[in-house]
Amino acid sequence: MKMHERSNSPDTEAAKAALATLRDWALRADPVEIARLDPAIARLLPGHALSNYPDLVRSYDTGFQPDAAYKDGMPDLQNGPASLITGAHAPIAHVGISNFRLPIRYRLRPGTDNPAGEVTLETSVTGTVSLDAEKKGINMSRIIRSFYGHAEREFSFEVMAAALDGYKDHLDSFDARLMMRFSYPVRVESLRSGLSGWQYYDIALEMADQGGRRLKAIHLDYVYSSTCPCSLELSEHARRDRGRLATPHSQRSVARISVAVEPGAPLWFEDLIDIARAAVPTETQVMVKREDEQAFAELNAAHPIFVEDAVRVFAAGLLAEPRVGDFRVVASHQESLHSHDAVAVLTEGPTFAAASLDPRFFASLVHSG
C-alpha cells in the first residue's frame, strides 16, 4: 500500500502565527521598509484596515526629481503584453493625437510682397499610426516629441517626411499619417476701388504612409458666391415679359479641393488658390465699396453656376496642372432659396475615391462669417 506524503501547506493556526509575526514586524519597521516589501502590509496595522498606504500627502512635492531607477519602475500599461488588451485582438488603422497646436513657419511663393519669404501661423496637428492586433497601445507623447524636433524649421513636405519617419520609428509602426491645418493669409485686391484686404484660406497639408506608398496632399477650402443660372433666367423673364423687378438667388458656397502633389517642382498654396479663382472667379470679397459691390453683381451675372458646373470647372483647371496628380473636388452651394444645400463630389484617380462618406462630411464645409 502506497503511503501518502504529509502536506507541507500551512494550516490555519500556522497562518495566524505568521500574521501575528508580520504585524509585530510592521509595527516596528520603517514605512519605507514596509513599502519595499509590499505596501499592502500597511493594511495589517491598527487603524489602517480600510485606508490605503501610505497616508496620502495633499501638498505638491516641488523638490521631487525622479531618477532613472524610479522611472524604470513606473507602470507603463500601454506597452504591456497582449493579455492586457480589452476587446477584440484586432489591428487599429489609426491611433494617435488630434489638434495639438503650435506655431509653424511656412514658405511663401517667390514674388510675394513679404520680404521674409515666410509666415508663422498657428497650426493644428494630427498624427496617427497603425497598431498591430497584438499590441496594447502606443505612447502618444512620442508623436509630439518627434514633431517638435522639426518644428523650428520652415515647413515643407520634406520636413513633414522627417517628422513622420521619426514617430514611425519611435512607435515601431508600418503605416502613419500626419496632417497640419492652418488659416493661410493672402492679400487680395478689391474689384474696382483699388483697396485690398487679407483673405484667409483654410488649408491642410497631409502626408500618409500606407502599404508602402507615401501620399503628399494639399486640401484647400475656396469660398465663393454661386448665382443660380435658372433663377437668373427666371428673373430676366419676369423683367422682360411682365415688367417686374426680380433678383436671382445666390449663396455663399464652398469648394474643398484635395490634390495629390506630384514629385518635382513645388505646388505653392498660392498656385492652388489661383487655379480655383481662375475656374470660379466669384470669390467672396474682403474690402468692398459701392463700385466693388456693383462689380461683384456684374461678375456673378457673368458666371452663373450650378453645383455640377462648379466641380467640373475646378476639375478642368486641376487636370491642366502637371504638378497635380489624383484629386477630389467637393462643392457645397448653401442655398438661399431652399432649406437644403446642393452638393457634388468629383474625383480623379483612386487616391480620394471612397464608397462611403462621413455622415457629417458636407456639414464640415459650412464657413461661418
Which tens digits make up the pLDDT trace of 226-268? 999 999 999 999 999 999 999 999 999 999 999 999 998 899 9
Amino acid residing at 79: N
Read off the pTM: 0.81
Smallest Cα–Cα separation from 259: which of 245, 273, 239?
273
Q: For the segment 139-188, what is each residue's pLDDT rounded down to a tens digit?
A: 888 888 877 877 777 677 777 888 888 877 777 778 889 999 999 999 99
Phi-psi region at 329: left, alpha or beta (left = phi > 0; alpha = psi -120 to 50): beta
| Per-domain boundaries in the chain | 12-59, 93-365
The CB density around residue 10, as the number of other CB atoms within 10 Å, is 11
Helices 141-148 + 157-171 axis angle, to 10: 140
Indicate the CATH number for domain 93-365: 3.10.270.10
